[in-house]
A and B are shown apart, each in its own frame.
Chain A
């Protein structure tokens, strides 16, 4: 954290947090604080690698391997988007068993990613670690559980409960990766998903190995992860009332439940200006007004006409992230968006704890109302979704047919195109593939971090994380803990 030496004449104090740690990738956050609250914010994406250029001219099948290296936390999401784009471009019909095997691979990484996020990326904003690196240094006034709970014995006990879970979650997330590898080959970066299906036919023995690990993970989610999130929220009730954002959300749908991709475990949909709408991919545009990229003409571009020409010298730009918009509006993506669109019934333990700890009678996710659009609301959405994925994995384990074909060999066409729409654990993801002369002619990626952590667009609208930062309390500018809490709640 660095701050300007003197507040400006208007009483605003600028604070920069760079690096924003415990996120995947390179992120800087700059906020202006006035009277103890954030009044303006900027999200800076500090790295560019150029996947879209690197993919051009390659064998289209290579894309599902190359794109996984965009993110080592969610490679299975990028792989899923890529193989779906390949399926469409190749005109290949994936066998039902291939679809379910892909769900088992991707689903187990969902469990891994959500658990890793809450415990190993977010929790240290609340739980005090041991006094050794990497748990120190930390903010002097960090507003941890041990600071919040006044009874010292109870404070210590609650913190120890959280810390023990942090360590146990390291084991649990590793076990999730063993589930991914069971049919994915290895993890991070799986081999098991390709255009046309999945490369390994599940056997009875391997399904039993998968199921045994899954039982342990499911138990942890129900007995430890969900209760901890609700317990934490009952200590930090104020964090249910901050970090609202635009309240515009979008979801592409994830985990197809039928071979025509008509039904999903989490459905596609849009919620804008208080109204539910059908998702229409034609309404997506990417802007670069404040991003380090040049377009051949002014305005936004649909991804099928996408251009990626970086220019780090561009005046007025401050991020390597483009600004995607739906109907020209900034939209939040991620667990909160998916849960709001799907509006499922909450877990039994969630319903009970909401009643016991908060006095809230909530049956479905939208019963949380405005509390959902908050720092803690996003953690609740993620934990509840983890439970839903676990329920779905149980179903897929019943649906899968041991020994049955998972793959249909595709032919690479001379020309073609395809789009893979899915949801990474951290939000909506699409890959667009265009083939010419059997090679990749154009490849465009619109990832979750682009949707959430983008800079201002050509119209001057803030990105969703920038907007959600407005109003976040920063009572002590030397210890701006709530800024990191808000940003991490998005799992950028």
Chain B
């Protein structure tokens, strides 16, 4: 991987306030990244999702998506980006999973429906030797690929925790990776990068940390994960505690409507029960973030959306 030192520091530090590089990032990692020519093989699959996580990844700034695609990862399968289609795309994916068995990252966007043998999400079809068409479900794909991966990464709240497809009222029995692994007895390292969508830095940063660990495990231990499988590096902060409006909260200076100044707690802000570094990192190249604009709806949390709903009523 070739990232400049400056780019890497920018990725892991959160804007002006500066989150700082966690201790897991020994300076040796920078050497590993600039010297190591190996790109991380990545298979990115999509289940019951909206492609929002993929689109968010395209918004990466430090490093830019062009550098990520050409220098950081080898994106072997991605339904929205790759040139190939149909059987050729699936054959390539299965071939890569064999070729890099135990050495590729499986990135999963979207939940896994389990009702009706998984037929609420068909991801492709293969043809057997007799010429019979076989529909591949998302469930079958995960069952096949996850055990062969080095690690499986739940990209976004749908794959990490179930998210909106698994919300109350769903009829598809949508599952998170963790619940699917438990039901299918799949034993594989699972890392969650939740968010609806996740910030591009969270996705790229987690991959870089994990791949650095692979390249040099002694110097780079695996990133510390919280009880919900999220890297502490990005999900260790409470939004409310790090919020620039905290002094307004302390002074009981509450905004009566969206367009009036003050803390947004009474408008339904879920910052107090939400853990991510949004307040420091901000979104879209630092342009804005949810609480400055309106409220936090707690999209990185395992109980999103049901536990955060109604979104516009105070907790």
Q: Does A152 interact with chain B (Cβ within 8 Å)? A: no
B120 / chain A contacts, CB cutoff of 8 Å:
47-49, 310, 312, 320
Q: Does B238 contact A (CB under 8 A)?
A: no
Number of A-B contacts (CB under 8 A): 265
Among B11-19, B28-36, B58-66, B227-235, the stretch that binds chain A is B58-66
CB neighbours (8 Å) of B183 from chain A are none
A283 at the interface (CB under 8 A from B): no
Chain B hits for A407, CB < 8 A: 257-259
Assuming the A-B contacts A132-B74, A185-B294, are A47 and B122 also in contact, with contact meaning beta carbons closer than 8 angstroms in the complex? yes
Q: Which of B1-9, B75-83, B201-209, B214-222 contacts A (4 or more CB under 8 A)?
A: B75-83
CB pair B293–A50 under 8 Å, yes or no, is no
- Which of the segments A16-24, A342-350, A353-361, A454-462 contacts the partner chain? A16-24
**Chain A hits for B66, CB < 8 A:** 167, 170-171
Best-surrounded residue of A136, A138, A174, A484 (most CB of chain B within 10 A)? A174
Evaluate contact between A72 and B54: CB separation under 8 angstroms. Answer: yes
In the complex with contacts A59-B312, A174-B58, A53-B170 CB distance below 8 A: yes
Report the Cα distance A4→B131, complex, angstroms.
Answer: 6
CB of B81 within 8 A of CB of A69, answer no
A window 14-48: CB within 8 A of B: 16-26, 28, 44, 46-48
- In contact, A57 and B169 (Cβ under 8 angstroms): yes
- Which residue, B55, B58, B75, has most C-beta atoms of chain A within 10 A? B55
Tell me the smallest distance from the CB of A212 to a CB of chain B, in Å. 12
The answer to the question of B181 belonging to the interface, with a C-beta cut-off of 8 Å to chain A, is no
In the assembled complex, A5 has its CB within 8 A of some CB on chain B: yes
Which of B142-150, B246-254, B303-311 has 4 or more CB atoms under 8 Å from chain A? B303-311
| Set B92, B113, B165: member contacting A137, Cβ < 8 A | B92
Is A66 an interface residue when CB atoms closer than 8 A count as contact? Answer: yes
Q: Closest CB of chain B to A195's CB: distance in Å?
A: 9
A199 to B130, CA, bound (A): 59
| Segment at the interface with B among A186-194, A264-272, A465-473 | A186-194
Chain A, Cβ-Cβ closest to B43: A133
Across the two chains, which residue of chain B brings its CB closest to A181? B284
Task: Give which listed residue, B83, B125, B292, contacts A134 with CB less than 8 A.
Answer: B83
Given contacts A47-B121, A50-B172, contact A186 B283 (CB under 8 A): yes
CA distance A146 to B118 in the complex (A): 42
A137 CB → nearest B CB, Å: 5
Taking A54-B167, A194-B258, A312-B119 as contacts, is the C-beta distance between A170 and B65 under 8 angstroms?
yes
> Is B90 an interface residue when CB atoms closer than 8 A count as contact?
yes
A139 in the interface, Cβ–Cβ < 8 Å?
yes
B69 at the interface (CB under 8 A from A): yes
Contact check: which of B64, B168, B299 meets A170 at CB < 8 Å?
Answer: B64
B53 within 8 A of A: yes
B310 adjacent to A72 (CB under 8 Å): no
Can you name the residue of chain A whose Cβ is closest to the Cβ of B54?
Answer: A72
User: Is B185 an interface residue when CB atoms closer than 8 A count as contact?
Assistant: no
Contact partners of A68 in chain B: CB under 8 A: 50
Contact with B along A177-210 (1 / 0, CB 8 A): 1101111111111011010000111000000010
Q: How far is the CB of B81 from chain A (nearest CB, A)?
A: 5
Cβ-defined contact, A49 with B48, below 8 A = yes
Q: Is A129 interfacial (CB 8 A cutoff)?
A: yes
Q: Does A409 count as interface, using CB distance less than 8 angstroms?
A: yes
Complex contacts, A185 vs chain B, CB 8 Å: 283, 288-290, 292-294
Which residue on chain B has the smallest CB distance to residue A310?
A: B171
A12 within 8 A of B: no
B174 within 8 A of A: yes
A50-B171, A200-B293 known; A19 vs B54 contact (CB < 8 Å) = no
**Contact status of A26 and B123, CB under 8 A, knowing A70-B50, A187-B59:** yes
Contact string against B for A residues 149-182, beta-carbon threshold 8 Å, 1 for contact and 0 otherwise: 0000000000000000001001101100110111
Q: Taking each of A21, A59, A312, which has the highest tally of chain B beta carbons within 10 Å of its own beta carbon?
A: A21
A211–B52 CA distance with the chains assembled, in angstroms: 25
Knowing A21-B82, A69-B196, A133-B76, the reply to whether A200 touches B259 (Cβ < 8 A) is yes
Shortest distance from the beta carbon of A238 to any chain B beta carbon, whole Å: 21
Residues on B with C-beta less than 8 A from A116 are 55, 58
* A46 to B311 CA separation, bound complex (whole angstroms): 30
Enumerate chain A residues within 8 angstroms of B125, measured Cβ to Cβ: 2, 16, 18, 28
Q: A1-B87, A53-B169 are in contact. Are A21 and B64 (CB under 8 A)?
A: no
Q: Is the CB of A133 within 8 A of B74?
A: yes
Contacts of A173 in B (CB 8 A): 58
Query: B182 an interface residue at 8 Å Cβ cutoff?
Result: no
The answer to whether A134 and B78 have CB atoms under 8 Å apart is yes
A143 at the interface (CB under 8 A from B): no
Contacts of A134 in B (CB 8 A): 69, 75-78, 81-83
A409 contacts B133, C-beta separation under 8 Å:
no
A409-B257 in contact (CB<8A): yes
B259–A62 CB distance below 8 A: no
| Nearest chain B residue, comparing its CB with the CB of A173 | B58
Q: Which of A120, A187, A189, A313 contacts B116 (CB 8 A)?
A: A313
A-facing residues in B264-299 (Cβ within 8 Å): 283-285, 287-290, 292-295, 297, 299
**A201 partner residues in chain B, CB cutoff 8 A:** 259
Q: Is B160 an interface residue (CB 8 A)?
A: no
In contact, A22 and B80 (Cβ under 8 angstroms)? yes
A-B contact pairs, 19 of them (CB 8 A): A2-B127, A16-B125, A16-B133, A18-B124, A26-B121, A46-B121, A47-B120, A59-B310, A61-B311, A62-B312, A120-B58, A134-B82, A138-B84, A170-B58, A171-B64, A181-B287, A186-B293, A188-B55, A191-B290
7 further A-B pairs in the complex, CB-CB below 8 A; given A59-B312, A135-B82, A178-B284: A49-B165, A50-B165, A66-B164, A133-B75, A185-B294, A186-B290, A191-B293
The 4 lowest CB-CB distance pairs between A and B, nearest first, are A72-B52, A185-B293, A46-B122, A59-B310
